[in-house]
Structure 1
Amino acid sequence: MMFLRDPSAYHGENNKRPFFEGWYHKLVTNDGRALVIIPGIYRSGFNNNQTAFVMIFDGDTGEVFYERFEVQQFSCSTSSYSLHIGSNHFSSQNITLDIESEALTIKGQVTADNLKPWPVTLFEPGCMGWYAYVPTMECFHGILSMDHSLDGQIELNGSNYDFVGGRGYIEKDWGRNFPENWIWAQSNNFSNSDLSITASLATIPWKNTAFAGFIVGLYHKNNLYRFTTYRNTVTKEIHYDSNKFSWQLRQNDLVLELTIEKGHKAGLLYAPDKMDMVPRVPEYLDGNIYLKLYDHKGTIVEDQTTSAAVEIIGDVRKLINMAGGLPSG
């Protein structure tokens, strides 16, 4: 029997192992300064290690701060996203931070308004579609808001981030482990202020084999254009060299062309491993995205940005081959 559950809520209440869950908040000021804030929880399947955490990625410096908390300090609703870790609170509408440690002093509050979540219905419960009902999936994904406005301030080690008039994005992952290989990019900081995109391509274990699964959402003028594996979107072209990823997708009459490039300054994010959370995911907040969406009537939107979050991880050549393309370079 299918059971509809809010993807934003906590999924680890039964203490299963291995398990991780993290909520990814990207906050960008009106003048383009970016912070990533990731609260979460981790439980090893190989030892007794378990920890709650708050991770901060400072786009100005490239520094990543990883603060551990006792799991007893972690409290999250299983019906909606309302998370407390120590004296810090996180939800889709609010972040309140109060951390003081040897490496990190961060305090402040940011609110979000006019959120644009990926729709959740019984037959398509969020961005994963019917795959969300498959309990053996290695990693589950949720998109809590494609784009929203921000208000408030955060002070990080003496540097003030003023988010009045800024833009935000929220997604999350939970499950046993991250994929083996993936490409992910996101931005809602284009010259067109009513435009946001998130795109991911990853190796998905399936029974005794694997496939290249993808989720691409483009939000423009109150429309969410969805290009996904479960909607039978077709990859028409796909190429990758050491720095640039090009992708053309067709969904019925719609065609989306994407070019994604790494930036110049990466932060090393922590991710679940067998024994612990370890620093192993380089993420850029100054990546490039070019996009063009069109149909038989002509171009719907075309834009580019140099303020994109980009991750290109693992054996990408293998991933591209699996997705039906040939890597170059």
Structure 2
Amino acid sequence: MAGKGFFKGWYFKQEKGSRAAALIPAFHFPADAPGYASVQVITEEAAWNFNFPLDAVKVFGKKDTIQIGNNYFSPRGIRVSLNKEEDGRTIKIEGRIRYAGLAALKSDIMGPFRYVPFLQCRHGVVSMCHKTRGSLKVNGDTYNFHGGRGYIEKDWGSSFPSYYFWCQSGWYDRQECSLMVSVADIPFLGGHFPGCIAFVYYRGKEYRLATYRGVRILKFCENEVLLRQGKMMLSIRVKPTEGQHLKAPVQGSMNRFIKENLVCTVWCRFWLDGKLIFDHLGMGSAEFDTGTNRLR
């Protein structure tokens, strides 16, 4: 791939109780180097990156399914067998997790922006929430996700936004609740604008807030986002931990580091027609790289 380079990656998160693990399979075509693939693994304690040659990759059409070496990722589940030597020790991650009851968005989260060419980065949500069954063994430590919950999304393009905030959280309150918020700087036609995509999936109903639906970003910083759209208002506050460093794409190459809190405290509030629908303080994931800029 020439020009600005290209990447595509998926984010498979599973959690149960206070434990979580996310796996990020991806392939990359840097602007100035040969293509390759990678699998990143993140837990609340650490993160690891495994690189693979491009010929180890098989992508299965529009099914959001990718195989990298002996590692398989799809909306039906994941199967991993990863190992390498790092800092004088063996890193070994293996296991299998099955997914069931996926909740898909009613339509593309990008809305009409999915038709706009040359966007720096595009985003997709494969499943807002689903059930998990299985386990992972991470360096001898077993993560049991039987009876847990999962979330799947994806990104593709040339680079991550220069600054952004992302948060995903979910819980059971009689019925399933899951939400995702992303606020970012969007380069467009020589300029830029603050963009937002978000959803709330609560008791079987989807609520969407987005730039293309007229959302107003009332507040944005490293640990808080406040959104208003029509009769809806969504407030997210994050209490970050030290977090882990993940690699992120710049012109297709994974040579940028961002910070992710896979397990942190998230305070979520959602109003509809002036009525408080939920006020939840619990666990979630947050990722941010706000640099010295702020949305205006």
TM-score by length of 2: 0.92
Deviates more, 1:64-73 or 1:74-83: 74-83
Unaligned runs of 5+ in 2: none
Aligned to 2:163, which of 163, 177, 181?
181
State the 1:168 CA deviation. Answer: 0.5
- Supply the distance in 2 between the matched residues of 1:239 and 1:128 (Cα, whole angstroms): 20
Q: Aligned residue for 1:101? A: 84
2:38 to 38, 41, 53: 53
Quote how far apart the aligned CAs of 1:49 are: 2.7
Contact 2:177 2:203 in 1 (8 A): yes
Among candidates 92, 114, 138, match of residue 101 of structure 2: 114
Matched with 2:65 is: 82
Partners of 2:181 and 2:135 in 1: CA distance: 29
Who is 2:19 aligned against? 33
Aligned pairs for 1:10-21 within 5 A: 18-21=5-8
Unaligned runs of 5+ in 1: 1-13, 121-125, 322-329
Q: Percent identity?
A: 27
Mean Cα deviation higher: 172-181 or 294-303: 294-303
Q: Does 1:238 align with 2:219?
A: yes
d(CA) in 2 for partners of 1:262 and 1:43? Answer: 35
Q: The residue matched to 1:179 in structure 2 has which SS? A: coil
TM-score calculated relative to the size of structure 1? 0.83
- Once structures 1 and 2 are overlaid, which stretch shifts more, 170-179 or 78-87? 78-87
Change (3 A) 1:239 1:22: closer
1:279: Cα distance to partner?
A: 5.1
Please give the alpha-carbon distance, in whole angstroms, between the structure 2 residues aligned to 1:75 and 1:275: 18
Per-residue Cα deviation, 1:7-57 (whole angstroms, up to 9, x for no partner): xxxxxxx8886001110011112x220111000011111x22321111101
| Cα drift, residue 311 of structure 1 | 1.4
Residue 319 (str. 1) matches residue 288 (str. 2) = no
Q: Runs of 4+ in structure 1 displaced over 4 angstroms?
A: 14-17, 190-193
- Alpha-carbon distance in structure 1 between the residues aligned to 2:117 and 2:269: 35
- Partner residue of 1:255 out of 220, 233, 240: 233
User: Are the counterparts in 1 of residues 184 and 195 from structure 2 also a CA contact under 8 Å?
Assistant: yes
Per-residue deviation, 1:294: 2.3
- Give the drift of 1:77: 1.6
Please tell me whether the aligned partners of residues 127 and 215 of structure 1 are also in contact (alpha carbons under 8 angstroms).
Answer: yes
SS in structure 2 of the partner of residue 102 of structure 1:
strand
In the other structure, the counterpart of 1:324 is: none
Q: Secondary structure at the match of 1:101?
A: strand
| Distance 1:239-1:87 versus aligned 2 partners, 3 A rule | closer
Over the aligned positions, Cα root-mean-square deviation in angstroms equals 2.0
1:172 aligns with 2:144: no
